[in-house]
């Protein structure tokens, strides 16, 4: 199958090889790209607290977060436990000669269960894009943590028109709610295609806009491809 993917260009390394492993061709159509945020105040504050040893846990949800954080903030003291989401983010942290704990996918439940009682009375830093995740913050504070967020990068439109690509592909994977929203795809545009949401949050946004995904993944591209393979059997 030819599958359009809205993954960020900056995170597209290895995507074609992954799809080829499952017998598919990946057509990369990023609908957004990363930039330094217009307002760096929250990241500056997080950097100050990290460097002074006042952050006990530091969460990176993406390789982009790692990249932009260390461009601005330098190193992380040994007293801070780094949490990376997924193997690629783990690799990015290790490339900085740092150790980390790794969780498989980004969800409030995953963080709460992984961190458990360790965060009671502790400060948890979150390195994120300019898209808030109130569910994560609420789950951490409900578990007794203090939360300090730092916006490390912003997501802006690329101008790519996914609707022009859809007639030539068999399926499309939306890799985030924002990438779906920026694509401007309607139910009519996606008619006859296998429509895949990378995870539940993306699926929820798609449903809100009248498109019910045929497949909802576990938050990873490989999870989507495995689900697609299972559907085809």
| More reliable by pLDDT, 42 or 219 | 42
Q: How far is it, in rounded angstroms, from Cα 2 to Cα 128? A: 31
Average pLDDT taken over every residue of the chain: 92
pLDDT at residue 135 is higher than 90: no
pLDDT computed for residue 9 by the predictor: 81
- If 0-12 CB within 10 Å is exposed, 13-18 middle and 19+ buried, where does residue 154 land? middle
- pLDDT tens for 140-170 read 999 999 999 999 999 999 999 999 999 999 9
Tokens of 193: 């295609």
Cβ–Cβ contacts within 10 Å for residue 137, how many?
Answer: 17
pLDDT at residue 231 is higher than 90: no
Q: Are 231 and 171 in contact (CB under 8 A)?
A: no
pLDDT band at 113 (very low <50, low <70, confident <90, very high): confident
Residues paired with residue 171 on neighbouring β-strands, in sequence order: 3, 194
Residues paired with residue 175 on neighbouring β-strands, in sequence order: none
Q: How far is it, in rounded angstroms, from Cα 11 to Cα 184? A: 21
Pick the CATH number of 41-155 from 1.10.260.30, 3.40.50.10090, 3.40.50.980, 3.30.465.10: 3.40.50.10090
- Answer yes or no: CATH 3.40.720.10 is held by domain 2-31+159-232: no
The predicted model scores a pTM of: 0.80
- pLDDT tens for 207-219 read 999 999 999 998 8
pLDDT computed for residue 233 by the predictor: 42
pLDDT at residue 12 is higher than 80: no
pLDDT at residue 80 is higher than 60: yes
Domain with CATH 3.40.50.10090 in the chain: 2-31+159-232, 41-155
């Amino acid at each position: 199958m030819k599958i359009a993917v809205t993954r960020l260009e900056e995170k597209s390394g290895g995507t074609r090889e992954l799809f080829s492993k499952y017998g598919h061709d990946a057509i990369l159509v990023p609908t957004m790209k990363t930039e330094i945020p217009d307002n760096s105040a929250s990241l500056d504050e997080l950097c100050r607290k990290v460097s002074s040893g006042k952050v006990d846990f530091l969460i990176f949800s993406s390789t982009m977060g790692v990249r932009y954080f260390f461009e601005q903030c330098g190193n992380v003291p040994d007293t801070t436990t780094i949490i990376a989401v997924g193997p690629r983010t783990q690799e990015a942290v290790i490339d900085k000669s740092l150790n980390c704990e790794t969780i498989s996918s980004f969800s409030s439940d995953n963080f709460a269960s992984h961190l458990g009682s360790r965060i009671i009375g502790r400060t948890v830093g979150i390195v994120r894009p300019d898209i808030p995740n109130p569910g994560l913050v609420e789950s951490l504070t409900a578990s007794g943590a203090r939360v300090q967020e730092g916006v490390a990068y912003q997501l802006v439109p690329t101008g790519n028109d996914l609707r022009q690509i859809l007639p030539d592909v068999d399926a499309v994977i939306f890799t985030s709610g924002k990438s779906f929203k920026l694509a401007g795809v309607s139910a009519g545009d996606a008619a006859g295609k296998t429509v895949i949401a990378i995870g539940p949050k993306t699926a929820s946004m798609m449903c809100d806009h009248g498109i019910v995904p045929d497949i909802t993944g576990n938050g990873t591209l490989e999870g989507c491809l495995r689900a697609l393979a299972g559907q085809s059997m």
